[in-house]
Amino acid sequence: MTILSGPECSTMAEVRAGVDQVDRELIALLRRRFDYMDAAARIKPERGHVRDEARKAQVIANARTLAGAAGLPEEAIGRLWDDLVEASIAYELEEYDRRVTKS
């Protein structure tokens, strides 16, 4: 099935196919993002450096700004990014601990 853009869709099957394709792309992008968490866990010298509240706030503010510019709801995107950053921190902590345990 050809994936149509949202405005081109005229059936729910087309909409669902498009959403499923976007979800596959988002998962691939999240894998790339979490690869950077792997790198951060490897590079940071101390476990206490994993959580950086100033950086977290900056990342969320950037996402909100980009969302607003794209015509998306800034508040909802801010909440989504807060969850994403917290999941990233938890993942990075696990990777940091795994690296330290192997040493």
Is 99 marked within a binding site? no
The span from the CA of 90 to the CA of 9, in Å, is: 38
Looking at the structure, give the CATH architecture of the domain made up of residues 11-102: Up-down Bundle (1.20)
pLDDT mean values, one per 10 residues, the chain (103 residues): 94 98 98 98 96 98 98 98 98 95 82
Any binding-site annotation on 47? no
The Cα 28–Cα 30 span in angstroms is 5
pLDDT tens by residue, 7-30? 999 999 999 999 999 999 999 999
- Domain boundary assignment for the chain: 11-102
Ligand-binding site membership of 53 (annotated): no
Q: Per the annotation, does 16 bind a ligand?
A: yes
